[in-house]
Amino acid sequence: MIAQLRPTAPAVLAAALLALAAAVPAAAHQCVEVEILRSPRVAQVGDLIVVAGAVANCGDPARGFHVSWVLVSDEGDRTLLRRTTVMVEPGNRVSGTHRLLLPEDVRPGHYGLALVGRAPSGFTDVEIARITLRPAD
């Protein structure tokens, strides 16, 4: 009798562990996806530029996502241009157009214009478009 139970004991244990795992609710996967829809390739220092971006909630539940536009130099220096919080329902996407003022104190050169989305869980997504800044006239 014991010999017959031994081979099935691992199977019973595995089934019990699977049943326990199924009884514990899994944490919802929270994530955000960002996309730059429009950005200039060239601008002057001090210009007001128009950009468009989209934020998607690829997780659950609906939360406020922190969204930032950041100018990043090739040396890694970052200049925050705009920060906002956006509410997005699960599985949905919102988009918008923004006017961003490029600071007059940044040096002309090549930069990354980053759209950064951060979920409440800490998950972060970034998309970067290249932009060349020329001296102001």
CATH number, residue 40: 2.60.40.10
pTM of the shown model: 0.76
Q: Flag whether 27 is in a domain.
A: no
pLDDT at 3 over 50: no
The reply to whether 4 falls in a domain is: no
Measure Cα distances from 57 to 4, 23, 78, 101 in Å: 52, 26, 26, 27
What is the Cα–Cα distance from 84 to 54, expressed in whole angstroms? 13
- Reported as a pLDDT band with limits 50, 70 and 90, residue 60 is low
Each residue of 75-125: pLDDT tens digit? 999 999 999 999 998 889 999 999 999 999 999 999 999 999 998 888 899
Confidence of residue 51 (pLDDT cuts 50, 70, 90): very high
Q: Are residues 39 and 60 in contact, defined by beta-carbon separation less than 8 angstroms? A: no
* Residue 17, in any domain of the structure: no
Expressed as residue numbers, the domain containing 52 is: 32-134
Which spans in the chain are helix H?
2-23
